[in-house]
Structure 1
């Protein structure tokens, strides 16, 4: 796919490695200081979405600021611009996220991705790995009274589930959507639905993936599911089934969505305008579909037809 030429190998999409992996609050990393760090996100991106939910669930809104990118990304990358939604960067006045990358490393030649955790004192990117940022929020920034999204007694199982989710589901939809050969596409879709079936089996046994308490792995699944029927099912050709057709997955999504601080991070306007308006090789017209109707709210909370 022309949009990511350096990440295509024999028809398969292979995501680039995260370039910046400093850790706030650990030896060799910058100190934990309230208000010093700023999170750059897109509401459309599932990887950035997860960091935004963790920030909210851990009560870090007042200590870590955010800037939200415009959902439509062009060849210049994620932008902060006037207009629809007023997506200005109030922290540094960046017009494009690339400015943060090049301020940190003038020789950076990769793709400019969200999320980014920015150090407002050193004027550099601390970390651009969503996995690191979520765990850092818990270990370095959250109060002892905050919910524990990485419980120690589940660490081994959680790591296994999270890795499996990434390989088959979270990145699986992209492997399907960006595949440029039939074999690569079919392999990705089969892996994706095997992964979803495995998650459904788990959710038939318990409220969340690892039991009765929400952990960060659940958010990995949620951020893909909430986009699935609106984007991945049609736009990325992941159309064997919809989430609405799978009761355990639909029930799970409806349980996570109303948790305090989660619903506010879900923006279907950004999600659909980004995917349908940015990936012009997949959707040349740029037309954004009106549907499908929302199914993520519990029955009885929305209007009728």
Structure 2
């Protein structure tokens, strides 16, 4: 599979950064932006100041606000919209998708209501076999990648040849993609880490230090792995880029929207106040904690940190009181 012409649907920070990765790998890339002024800035000014200020975009990266124009003749289509709006957006694009194009998902989350992973949503709405959807995961903070700081990612697809095709199309001197066939594990790692990052942000906001952070990261890893294994994932996936890698980056970096959102909650702000401070945007983990919690409950999997984040974000729970409850839970063996 020769992937030369690629369309990225979504001009946010990660969509634009991944488009830059593809262009720097020598591909012809077109970004679709919802707003014509954003498309014009990317196309004519080679920048996206609203999301990646100070970053110069490559000459071979174009943009348009016309979805039909963006998708015409694409060999691969990258879906770079938030997880909870993926279904609605893709429904509008379905008739425009080139028949043989590889579909690639950047979204990390579990859909509210249906409790479907993003590749399941793409397959259902896009009318493609689930085995053909490529999922991108890993420690991929958009600003660092756009600044060409060395990074790696994992491209997961049951059809390994499709993953390899996207791997070749995205490999460049600063971005090293690996392949994996464990789509379930990679997607759950990418979704759950947002929730754990919220908890780390809350701990930082309450003034806690490295011991607390390490505890939250490792116990968060344990509960995401429990859910993954229950749903058929390979446990080793959670020791890789889509597990530990993404978890550490998202939980520790001030560039992580989930961590910074959680930090505001830990300092006593409400979800509404934190949202206003974030320019009206809600961190993915705020939504995903509810759907992941429901998914875990439906399979009988205990996820105390995820449950705690749901209670703080959606039931008005106090982070300090809920933190004390977590520490006071019944004692048990580490791996039970």
Q: TM-score, normalised by structure 2?
A: 0.31
Higher helix residue share: 2
Higher relative contact order (CA 8 A, sep 6+): 1
Specify which structure has the higher proportion of strand.
Answer: 2
Q: What TM-score does the superposition give when structure 1 sets the normalisation length?
A: 0.34
